[in-house]
Structure 1
Amino acid sequence: MRLRTRLQLLTAATAAACLGLMGLTTTAHADVTDIPPAGANDWSCKPSSAHPEPVILVNGTFKTMAENWATLSPKLADDGYCVFAFNYGHAATDPIPDSAAELRDFVNAVLGSTGAKKVDLVGHSQGGMMSRYYIKFLGGTTKVDDLVGIVPSNHGTSNPLALAAGATVCPSCADQTTGSDLLKKLNADPETPTGPEYTQLATKYDEVVVPYTSSFLSGPADHVSNVLLQDKCPLDTTEHDQATKDPVVAQWVENALGRKGPADPRFQPHCVG
């Protein structure tokens, strides 16, 4: 389930690739994909004093919330968080600004339902980068406490499939190509506007966000943490597609959500394998 099932954030370079993608892009519109992952979207949930911000999970390109967050959502819910998730942008292929507007509306709905003052965002791939567009341009600086990006496409990718996919079925893929106008606008100073705390998680085995360092953001250490999984767990072979299901990633997410500021760079997760 790597490049073929994900067609990894960036696929469809040829007509054959587009046909291979159809199983995901068509089912993304079916009613069954509107079922949230376990633990998410209990609209009666009220945040506790221990976890005052509800957590919104923002999936990646070609993904549905149910598949992307099948592991992390129930874990966060079991640990006492109010968890929410949603599908957006026609399998997250719409232009980034359009999807960011959907995120804005979903954040407002969660805040209205829970009575919380702010939310935490945990985004995979496009979900981590697109959340920054919401924060920077659509009023999110005052409504987001933590943004945790799991292998986010913050500076895009040099993978040539991104531009090819963008020319066919996936405008967001074009937006995620290194050097795109969207990314130039998003990453213009400041990359990390004051307000949220930013934690960016990368793996050196990322075959989609290339190079993997494209996930990292600039900013002061008390405001931004950039984490390479293998720095603390050298044997972790997690790649892009399955990063949300990695138990080491889950530990970093909870470290970021559970403290003031971004994830603690000194944190040592329990390495698996």
Structure 2
Amino acid sequence: MIRNLLRSCLAALLAATSLLPTAASAAADGRQGAVRPDPIVFVHGWNPDTSPWETMAGRFEADGWPTSHLDQWTYNSTQPNATTAARLADEVERVLDLTGATKVDVITHSMGALSSRYYLKNLGGAAKVDAWVSLAGPNHGTDIAQWCGGAPCIEMRPGSDFLSALNSGDETPGSSRYATWGSPCDSVISPKSSVALSGAVNSTTACLNHSALRTDQTVYGEVKAHVR
């Protein structure tokens, strides 16, 4: 009887031990399967400097976004916004294929708001974009565009055919989560009311210049909370 009891105890011990690798593997699989944040596609504005998104992208990386999920996209800002929107559609598909994600977040500055909105409204982008952000976007035009030439500048002028079509009907179509940030001290966007969109979460920043909306720590924190 004692011998049988010892055998039973030994069998139970071996069975329990055999479960340990499985549990460890499950824990590892859980870590590997943790949900990653959506990839972010950054869209700059007209005539940007050489690295407009380094500060914000660096903060996202420090807060846990993989580098593969931070796409500082660049494009020819002298082309019409509809052309840029088509290029953006290709870029989003590239990022989705690269990361295996089903949607991206899009963070824009200035004129970048217009091409990305065209993509969401007219090129199926609303199905591919979870959160959309406009920092200092001339969503209803800006008077300063009267002083520059070329197709995108003409399109940025208040009342342009491009903006009239873009803002007709629903300004925030689809299920994407829209948010805008505008500064009362932005000398590039005039009138200041141009930034806000019907149906979006619209925020007013502290007294920041046009470019500072990309680098301000408070704005970053609010944008990060939105894209999450």
Fold match (TM-score > 0.5): yes
In the alignment, structure 1 residue 72 sits paired with structure 2 residue 56: yes
Q: Which residue of 1 aligns with 2:204?
A: 228
Letter in 2 for 1:239: N
TM-score by structure 2 length? 0.81
Q: Which residue of 2 aligns with 1:109?
A: 94
Following the alignment from structure 2 to structure 1, what is the Cα–Cα distance between the partners of residues 220 and 40?
A: 13
Q: Does the 8 A contact of 1:155 with 1:215 survive in 2?
A: yes
- Give the drift of 1:74: 0.8
Q: 1:99 to 1:238 in 2, by over 3 A?
A: same
3-state SS, counterpart of residue 227 of structure 1: strand
| Structure 2 gap segments, 5+ residues each | 1-31
- Give the drift of 1:195: 1.8
Q: Number of paired residues?
A: 194
Q: 1:79 to 1:156 in 2, by over 3 A?
A: same
Q: Which residue of 1 aligns with 2:127?
A: 142
Q: Which residue of 2 aligns with 1:163?
A: 146
Q: Does the 8 A contact of 1:129 with 1:149 survive in 2?
A: no
Following the alignment from structure 1 to structure 2, what is the Cα–Cα distance between the partners of residues 115 and 145?
A: 15
Deviation track 1:160-189 (CA, whole Å, cap 9, x = no partner) reads xx13312xxx32111111000000000000
3-state SS, counterpart of residue 242 of structure 1: helix
Q: Which residue of 2 aligns with 1:88?
A: 75
Among 15, 26, 35, which residue is 1:49 paired with? 35
Following the alignment from structure 1 to structure 2, what is the Cα–Cα distance between the partners of residues 254 and 206?
A: 22
Following the alignment from structure 2 to structure 1, what is the Cα–Cα distance between the partners of residues 33 and 179?
A: 22
Among 105, 110, 115, which residue is 1:130 paired with? 115
3-state SS, counterpart of residue 71 of structure 1: helix
Q: Which residue of 2 aligns with 1:17?
A: none
3-state SS, counterpart of residue 195 of structure 1: coil
| Structure 1 gap segments, 5+ residues each | 1-45, 230-235, 259-273
Letter in 2 for 1:101: A
Q: How does 1:258-273 map to 2 (within 5 A)?
A: 258=228
TM-score by structure 1 length? 0.68
Dislocated runs of 4+, deviation >4 Å: none
Among 202, 205, 209, which residue is 1:239 paired with? 209
Letter in 1 for 2:35: S
- Give the drift of 1:213: 1.3
Letter in 1 for 2:102: K
Following the alignment from structure 2 to structure 1, what is the Cα–Cα distance between the partners of residues 204 and 33?
A: 30
Letter in 1 for 2:213: A
- Give the drift of 1:237: 2.3
Among 180, 190, 213, which residue is 1:210 paired with? 190
Q: Does the 8 A contact of 1:47 with 1:116 survive in 2?
A: no
Q: 1:249 to 1:199 in 2, by over 3 A?
A: same
Following the alignment from structure 1 to structure 2, what is the Cα–Cα distance between the partners of residues 75 and 216?
A: 25
In the alignment, structure 1 residue 178 sits paired with structure 2 residue 158: yes
Following the alignment from structure 2 to structure 1, what is the Cα–Cα distance between the partners of residues 115 and 193?
A: 17
Q: Does the 8 A contact of 1:150 with 1:244 survive in 2?
A: yes
Q: 1:187 to 1:48 in 2, by over 3 A?
A: farther
Q: 1:237 to 1:127 in 2, by over 3 A?
A: same
Following the alignment from structure 1 to structure 2, what is the Cα–Cα distance between the partners of residues 210 and 87?
A: 25
Following the alignment from structure 2 to structure 1, what is the Cα–Cα distance between the partners of residues 132 and 86?
A: 17
Following the alignment from structure 1 to structure 2, what is the Cα–Cα distance between the partners of residues 237 and 114?
A: 37
Identity %: 35
